[in-house]
Amino acid sequence: MLLTPFARVIPLPETIMRCRYSVVAACLIASFAATAEQESIERLEVQGDFRRLSVQTIAGSIAVVSEQDMQRSSAQHLDDVLSQLANINFAAGASRGRFVQVRGIGERSEFIDVINPSVGVLIDGIDYSGLGISSIAHAEQLEVFRGPEATRFGTNAMAGMLNLSSKQPDFRRDGAFSATVANYNSWQLSGMLSDAISDQVAFSLTADKQVSDGFIENTYLHRKDTNDIDELTIRGRLLYRHSDQLQWQLIAHAIEQNNGYDAFSLDRNRTTLSDEPGKDKLSSQALALRSDYHGIVGADLMWQLSWLSADSDYRFDEDWAFVGIRPGWEYSAFDRYQRSREQWTLDYRLVSDDQGRIADNTDWVLGFYVSGRELDLQRTRRSGTRLRAFDNNLQRDNAAVYGETSTALSEQTTLVIGGRLERYKDDYRDNGNLTIQQRHSMWGGKLSLNFQASEQAMIYTLLSRGYKVGGVNGEALSRAGDDGLEALLQQATFEPETLVNAEFGVKGAAIDGSLVTRVAVFHMWRDDMQVKGWLNPELGPEFAGFIDNAGRGRNYGIEMENRLVLHPSFTLHVSAGLLKSKLGPYVTQAGLDMTGRDQAHAPRFTYQLAGDWFLSEQLTLQASVQGKSGFYYSDGHNARSASSELVNLRLNYQLEQWQFAFWSRNALNQDRGVRGFYFGNDPRDEYAPHTYEQWGEPRRFGVTASYQF
């Protein structure tokens, strides 16, 4: 009965209707949980929203991953964390997975064309979208927003947003240090320290160094480190409490990444034959100044000014082989992309307090946002003895105004209305004397009705709209003169995309913390859907990519997260997602009709089953199984991944301030694809097309020693 009024307004597909009993059950569980005996309860606050509120009281599907959750799977990088979450996937195509898909929507690579991400990344409020998250060591928490969040984040959050917060400064000394050694010649050193400098000034500093040979053996070069990891990440915060009304915070980041890239094998395994292994390098620095002022009558003033500079060098052996592998058939090519990025952002907003409410029942937020970004690319491609260079520059400026109101209609019912109007302009030029200017105004927003059934149970309905900007197909323009690629002249630009999301959710928790549950049913409509297309006339080694608009698309399903304390010594964590996605009318340049097919990197089923077993005061066993069904690698071909089930184990021994952990990730050593292509690249079989996959990490095992003070 809870779904009936909602279903009359927006007809739900059969897949979701089959899930209605799960939602009704969640409502009943939430109501029952509210009657439990009152004790303490875990409260996870969302830091990325306008106000710091409990995740249980915000409309929308938000996953909050604490440092303890990351430890459960011995996570060392974002890849390891995302596998825990329902309806979340990622793509590699580089040394790390930095392209994220939420509910089947998100990019999978970036070569020449500048792509505005469907799923953005913020670290301490600084925009790292397109660069990814380099380290999660000693993070305070990671928040994953599912669904459009245009009101809060704008064009970078059409499908969702990842928000990582490093440790906040503390006026009491808090510190931790950990050292890890693992197979594949891997080691990690990380540390965190927070302390007071004076009565008004405190700081926090986090540093992380990771090194590994990687999981590839190059038999031609007789090396096992051509796909290695070598990363250093430093993040710091300096807090100055000027008074009870005013505080300032200075944030500084530095990243040095010097990773190898030699991931694709002609033999379609973990053995490569490249004679020129690639690199995936990144050097970035970022600064932010934040102010929180509570001295205005009726509102709090918050603003953050940030700056980021990043240089990347991404290069790879395009033929994946060596000269002489098959004379007469072989080709030799090497591709290199050198990027520089300079950006600044200013986010300025007023948030009402108790004295600033409208009509005593309406809280409000009003803000504006401006940003500027300059991106330079130098691409150098060598094919045989022929050397081709392509340079381009994109200057992108954004300006937006946004607002939100929250009106208490009754003691239990709240209406939230939010909106954002954004204007962007792009100025593009390249070394082919091509200049393109694009100007667009876009809007997004949300409307939610929240019903607080009890202090511990909330039911909400949500309608939200997101958007992302269009762009220029630089690769298509640069290669339109090649034989067989003339059709690329028709793909000079691509249009903005919009998304509308309808969602119904239930959140509940027992007062004593023995049960926490969150369930969301959603249906999303995509318009002018941006898809990655490939023109590969003869399915051979020469191909070109571009971004196309595929008309419409649909994504709908259900996701749930539960934590259940079955016994004082055992806690069970269950998350699961069911997703159905469809491409709208879309025929590729190669003539493949993809209409109605599942979208790329959109597995129909994802889940995690995890448990924490406290064997004694000193000994804890943690185990998890993370699974996902197979999915298509691209919207331009029909190559698919296999399904996967990853088993993770961790045994912790606590000795006063020391902890020793023996752990294994992917303990059953299952191969899983994290990026895939379909074409011919092997001269030994005369370039017959195959599905080539980049594999995720194999079985990992190691030991970690941690000291907390």
Q: Is the pTM of this model over 0.85?
A: yes
| CB 615, CB 623: distance < 8 Å | no
pLDDT, tens only, 639-648: 999 999 999 9
Please give the structure tokens belonging to residue 207: 């540093």
Please give the structure tokens belonging to residue 671: 């191969």
Spans in the chain with pLDDT lower than 70: 1-43, 478-490, 534-543
Please give the structure tokens belonging to residue 161: 């947003």
The continuous run of DSSP H or E covering 124 comes out as none
Which class for 646: exposed (0-12), middle (13-18), buried (19 or more C-beta within 10 A)? buried
Domains and CATH numbers, the chain: 4-708 (2.40.170.20)
pLDDT at residue 551 in the model: 76
Task: Assign residue 184 a region (left: φ > 0; alpha: ψ between -120 and 50; beta: otherwise).
Answer: left
**Residue 173 neighbours by CB distance under 10 Å:** 11
Which residue in 252, 316, 261 sits closest to 289, CA to CA? Answer: 252
| CB 642, CB 605: distance < 8 Å | no
pLDDT, tens only, 420-434: 999 999 999 988 888
pLDDT at residue 489 in the model: 65
